Amino acid sequence: MKILVTGGAGFIGSAVVRHIIENTTDSVVNVDCLTYAGNLESLISVEASDRYAFEQVNICDRAALDRVFTQHQPDAVMHLAAESHVDRSITGPAAFIETNIVGTYTLLEATRDYWNQLADTEKQAFRFHHISTDEVYGDLPHPDEVESGTEPSENEKLPMFLETTSYEPSSPYSASKASSDHLVRAWLRTYGLPTMVTNCSNNYGPYHFPEKLIPLVILNALEGKALPIYGKGDQIRDWLFVEDHARALYKVVTEGKVGETYNIGGHNEKQNLEVVQTICSILDTLVPKETGYAQQVTYVQDRPGHDRRYAIDSSKMQRELDWTPVETFETGLKKTVQWYLENSEWCKHVQDGSYQRERLGVESAETKGSK
């Protein structure tokens, strides 16, 4: 099978590409416009494979997408390309509307035109897998909101997001992803395009751009900088190791049912403060210094509309597709910290863009010389 992966140079997308090339016989066409968070250095281990191809294309560019579909003839699409940082969506929502909504619409239309031209058997086998977030659901009751002296049922006390949970997005980011989810389902209902949707919890692991909580805390700690925590740090997230997520996504695109939604979580609900403290404890062991890293923790003003708790019920994935996460939060976080300790050059390159500029410059020169 040949899979077109949008956003394949991003954090989750690159994990999906590496998983497919390294663990299956399938081919990948990586479509990525290489924004600040897209990094080809995350794909060095697979870029030489004859089953891997890269196309620097923006998903809002319909003509370029049409060329990619015509040239590569994919059997499936895994759509991960998105603007994804909540803080950036608050200060600059326009990019989120453009990429996550208009980009998804453009990709759906390009896919639909391509799909309509396929033979009947190929049309039946084709899949469009849209990768989304649990943030579209809004937030859940927090444990400290349970009234003292009462004994609520488990569902009342600690509910979790189900595939049937209604949408209540809180930020421009989550609202744009909710919009894209609705578009994908509408293209199935209206046009018959064989789509599926997955909604995941917070990912972490190697190759994560250091604006997100875990890599930011690791690098700031090592550099002696403040470790910023919003509010009291009591926001709860379900943490999913990115390689577990990549396995799940491949399961869905190859074994999932058309029209279905699958929630993917790591079964690891942790308060943000606990996450930061655990990272500090791991660093205290691996890279000890005179004063503990936890002394660098700094509390900052909470961001507007900050959801307090997310929790994913991924029992449908286990029941229907035989998937469960392999990593616990403890084992996954240790692997993540160790990776950042051993890959300081990647961290430097992804922030200053030096590898990307050099790589694209070489490719441009080669392309020019071949004409």
Q: Model confidence over 271-302: pLDDT tens digits?
A: 999 999 999 999 999 999 999 999 999 999 98
Q: Tokens 């995941």, residue? A: 200
- Contact assessment for residue 117 and residue 193, using Cβ atoms and an 8 Å cutoff: no
Q: Cα separation of 11 and 338, whole Å?
A: 17
Q: Tokens 């700094």, residue? A: 298
Question: Coil, strand, or helix at residue 316?
Answer: helix
pLDDT at 363: 53
User: How does pLDDT run across 212-241, given as a tens digit for each residue?
Assistant: 899 999 999 999 999 999 999 999 999 999
Catalytic residue among 114, 173, 293, 340: 173
Question: How buried is 68 (Cβ within 10 angstroms: 0-12 exposed, 13-18 middle, 19+ buried)?
Answer: buried
Identify which of 42, 78, 2 has the alpha carbon closest to the alpha carbon of residue 248. Answer: 78
Query: What is the CATH architecture of 2-370?
Result: 3-Layer(aba) Sandwich (3.40)
Residue type, 69: F
Q: Cα separation of 336 and 323, whole Å?
A: 22
135 noted as active-site residue: yes
User: How does pLDDT run across 83-136, given as a tens digit for each residue?
Assistant: 988 888 999 999 999 999 999 999 999 999 999 999 999 999 999 999 999 999
Q: Tokens 């990593």, residue? A: 327
pLDDT at 368: 38
What are the domain boundaries of the chain?
2-370
Catalytic residue among 55, 134, 163, 243: 134
Whole-number average pLDDT of the chain? 92
Q: Cα separation of 349 and 39, whole Å?
A: 9
Q: Indicate the pTM of the whole model.
A: 0.92
Catalytic residue among 32, 83, 135, 269: 135
Q: Cα separation of 335 and 325, whole Å?
A: 15
Radius of gyration of the chain (CA): 21
Element (H, E) at 175: helix 172-191
